[in-house]
Chains A and B, each alone.
Chain A
Amino acid sequence: MKFIIITLIGLFAFAFAHGQDSRLAGRVTDTIGNRVVGARVTLEGVGMQAGPPIKVVLTDTTGAFSFVGLPRGNYQLVVHKRGYADWQTTVSLTGDTDGFTVVLEGKVHLLDEVLVVDNHVERRKQEESLNLEVVGKDFVYRNLGGSLMKSLERLPGVQTIGIGSGQSKPLIRGLGFNRVVVVDRGIKHEGQQWGSDHGLELDQFAVGEVEIIKGAASFVYGSDAIGGAIDVKPEALPAPHTRAVSVDLVGRSNNHSYGTSVRIGGRSDKWFVDSRLTYLRYGDYRVPADTVYVYDYAVPLQGQRLRNTAGRETDVHFTAGYLAERFNSILYVNNIDNKAGFFANAHGLEPRRVDVELHDKSVRDILLPSQQVNHFKAISKNALHLGAHHIEAELGFQRNFRQEHSPYVNHGYMPSSLPDTLGVPTTLEREFDKQVYALNVKDYVELGKHQLTFGLNGERQHNRIGGWTFLVPSFAQSTVGVFAYDRYRLTDRLLLHGAVRFDHGSLRMHEYRDWFPSDVPEGGQAYLVRAADLHRRFNSLVWSIGMNYEPFENLSLKANIGKSFRMPIAKELSANGVNYHYFSYERGNPSLAAEQSYQADLAVEWNTDGWQIQVSPFYNYFPNYIYLNPTAAFDHFYGAGNQVFEYAESRVMRYGGEVQVSRRLGRSLKAEVLGEYLFSQQLSGTKKGFSLPFAPPPSLLMGLSWSPERPGSPFIELDYRLVAAQDRIVPPEKKTAGCGVMALRAGGTARVAGMPVHLNVQVQNLLDTKYMDHTSFYRLIELPEMGRNIVLSLRIPVISKQNE
């Protein structure tokens, strides 16, 4: 650049030396010397010869341009090319000038970083009366856990049920399973949410933004959104006229994990294609213990590693679409494939004998027992602007195919070895095959101060089962729901919300009969019917009202009260089988009504010089919470001698909330305290006075972060999370002691070869503390949580450039 300026000054010095008809020729390149083709070069007279542009040329395929027949004098030279910063200078032409060099600086458009610089998150929060947290890709990267939900766990009110080191499922204020809806690219994610050892099949590298809605969200999301919803938005689309390749690399020390995610995409003005491939492998994870105890039986661990908790994940995404001002249509196709082992020394609560030598040969092999899940999705997302209407429609198909593998073990009345005639592989314990078709249509209409939304959701499910054990029958399910939602801006400071929704659902269960005979009360043996043909229909009317109010500057208030519902699931209605891993005989209740919930939410946020305080309490009441109640009885016919667990309904009250306080200390330092508290109690039924299962204990997170305003936005964050003991338990849980866990995060962006490379380093469980997580899948067999884990991640834009 300096060279050019000096050249220009030099040229200037000769400004008036010569006569007429000179030539100006040169080349346009980018910062790394590549020719820029098709740039518009404009030459304008300045000073005495001011006037309209006298000449415009485009650079040729070599990036060259030339003007001939120019009178000597001063000119203004402007070079314009889409995607680059405009370049201009003054040229004093005193004679033929060749070899004029123009270097254009690219506007940096990393595909995964098209940061729409607006305050849409703030606005979204201000216009939503429910409690809402929104996090972006950066938050996910900074807190990168083994799975998406683990990465979000820092947020107050969000907890997870971790299944080993690579899988987890969400809990919002202690509610999870089928009481939280996960939406991926506009369509409800349907896996096997009911199972405590079933994780969520989402690729956290392909996530753009995540919205966590706490509270009664059924009026938008339909059945199941009782605890709230997690709306996972796709990555930002490529900017117009760009193409890019970016590579993410991640490594974790604790479970010897490594992985990569590669994105390749590009866009013309209106059409785009985008793709991503993610591959992750992890070994057995390490806990800070040499021996763990399954009941009283000591299980020595080699190298403190939990035998057979290794896994792998391969995700493929393909996206293509058309984006215009009035209409856009995007097709998302992706496939998530997961395989992970279960801790080999126990399967559920059952202590297992293992071939230690075989298992300890490698920390990476995935032996039995294990689970394998393949989740395929094809979603077409469309939007149309028509006058005052904005119409969105999503059509989706997904298939969740899940297999659980274990050596055949004869429990109860099962024969000692699996007969060949059954046609089931000896290691196929369970298989679930779910196929779901879904359609959503929404119409947003602006009518004066009213912002109306009308919506329709329809879903059709087919569920088939396989394997040599039985938990839930095959079933088909159809649901349809319609809703209307009005957002009314009464004044600048007051926004009112009202919504109403009607749903109809139909569930058709198919008969399942044991493949082996059992002793029956009438004497002798028979093939027991575990689930009978059953058809149930449900209707539900839910509503929600709320407001956003800003009484003063810096203070905002939110209030919402709403009713949510959930259709009973097949297991709750029709289970009649033995879960041998939990020594439980689970008996469904075919007459259960749809679960209903009323919730009141409040949020107060106060922002003033350096302080940010947010308090969000809630109160929730269920007239009929559906609960798997462990009874005092055993059943030696249908239950093969196991404890009877019965699905029952009870009145339940829950309340609690989150407190978030942060304070800026100087320009770069910030301290914050995040607290969460939850109390739940059953008000009726045989467990009156008891809590609900998976109740997260109160916790307090204290964080200190340092992020100076320097190029590359470096940061260092230190977290200390204090978790109280959980003594409020229900059978078959165990009391969990309190603990304190520390985490350290640091990162920033460095320019390497002109490209911004993002680096994040994390140390989870910094002090290698031995503790148990009350909501972890392995809590019941008393396995401690993961020890110290150093996570290193890099985001590298390999190519990021304008189309020619």
Chain B
Amino acid sequence: MRIIIAFGAMALALSCSKDAETVDTEYPVIDGNFAGAFPQQCGTVRRGETFVFRAKFSDNVALGSFSLDVHDNFDHHSHSTEVEACDMGPVKEAEAPFKYIKSFDIPGAPKTYEAEVAIAVPADVDPGDYHFLMRVTDREGWQTLRGLSIKIE
């Protein structure tokens, strides 16, 4: 019986000492209401033009990096992560879909960061429904993602 008590006391002591050490369990945040945010859910970008992606990321401790992915949704395979649903064009086969995949470091591990990336959309890509997926991590590896439905005209 004494062994149990001793073990229990040890377990209790260990668990208390561990609670003092706090680890970061918070996800980074993508600010959807940021004034200059672009593109917006159900927004439009034009072929043959360059648009500038703008977003504001924040974290309670330190941000890590972010990644952007633009791909076609001509087959309506998935929906965005947003509340608002958009009008979609008809389902169609892709011929020359626009594809953009790139990742970026956030230098200096700041708590907030305003991202700005110029993205050129070639003139000869298929117009239609696209997904704009942005992902951000913090230093601990928590990832937040946000998927927007956009149109390329």
Contacts and interface: CB of A to CB of B under 8 A. Distances in A.
A622 to B, nearest CB: 16
A522 B47 CA distance: 27
Contacts of A657: 11
A68 B82 CA distance: 97
Interface string A339-381: 0000000000011110000000000000000000000000000
B33 interface: no
Contact of B141 (A353, A640, A643): A643
A604 B1 contact: yes
Contact of A632 (B8, B78, B139, B147): B139
A533 B101 CA distance: 28
A642 B140 contact: no
B143 A731 contact: yes
Contacts of A731: 140-143
Interface in B56-89: 64-69, 71-72, 74-83
Contact of B81 (A295, A416, A686): A295
A294 B81 contact: yes
A410 B137 contact: no
A516 to B, nearest CB: 12
A629 to B, nearest CB: 7
B7 A602 contact: yes
B99 interface: yes
B102 A636 contact: yes
Nearest to A617: B7
A655 B1 contact: no
A489 to B, nearest CB: 23
Nearest to B97: A416
B4 interface: yes
A417 B94 contact: yes
A631 B142 CA distance: 8
Contact of A634 (B11, B65, B140): B65
A409 interface: yes
Contacts of B135: 583, 634, 641-643
Contact of A633 (B65, B140, B147): B65
Interface in A219-257: none
Residue among B14, B142, B147 with most chain A CB within 10 A: B142
Contacts of A411: 71
Nearest to A632: B64
A151 to B, nearest CB: 30
A353 B83 contact: no
B93 interface: yes
B21 interface: yes
B15 A634 contact: no
Contacts of A753: none
Contacts of B14: 655, 679
A725 interface: no
A729 B7 contact: no
Nearest to B99: A413
A630 B67 CA distance: 15
A729 B25 CA distance: 7
A129 to B, nearest CB: 15
Interface string A432-449: 000000000000000000
A353 B104 CA distance: 29
Contacts of B81: 294-297, 351
Nearest to A690: B23
Contacts of A631: 64, 137, 141
Contacts of B79: 297, 351-353
A214 B78 CA distance: 43
B35 interface: no
A298 interface: yes
Interface residues of A, number: 51
Contact of B15 (A410, A641, A679): A679
B102 to A, nearest CB: 5
Interface string A615-634: 10100000000000111111
Contacts of B23: 689-690
A773 B14 CA distance: 26
Contacts of A521: none
Interface in A407-427: 407, 409-413, 416-417
Interface string B112-149: 00000000000000000000000101111111011100
B64 to A, nearest CB: 3
Interface string A687-726: 1011000000000000000000000000000000000000
Contacts of B11: 617, 655-657, 679
Nearest to B95: A416
A732 interface: yes
Contact of A630 (B7, B78, B141): B141
Nearest to A557: B3
A353 B81 CA distance: 11
B143 to A, nearest CB: 5
A735 interface: yes
Q: Which of A412, A413, A635, A643 has the largest count of B CB atoms less than 10 A from its CB? A: A643
Contacts of B137: 630-634, 643
Contact of A641 (B7, B72, B101, B141): B101
Nearest to B143: A643
Interface string A293-305: 0111110000000
A632 B140 CA distance: 6
A416 B74 contact: yes
B69 A416 contact: no
A634 B67 CA distance: 7
B93 A417 contact: yes
A298 B83 contact: yes
B132 to A, nearest CB: 12
B152 to A, nearest CB: 14
A727 interface: yes
A90 interface: no
A519 interface: yes
A268 interface: no
B50 interface: no
B17 to A, nearest CB: 11
Contacts of A800: none
A727 B145 CA distance: 21
Given A631-B64, A689-B21, 6 more contacts: A295-B81, A617-B11, A634-B104, A641-B101, A641-B135, A690-B23
9 contacts: A295-B81, A604-B4, A633-B64, A635-B103, A636-B102, A636-B103, A639-B103, A690-B23, A731-B140
Closest 3 CB pairs of A and B: A632-B64, A416-B94, A634-B103
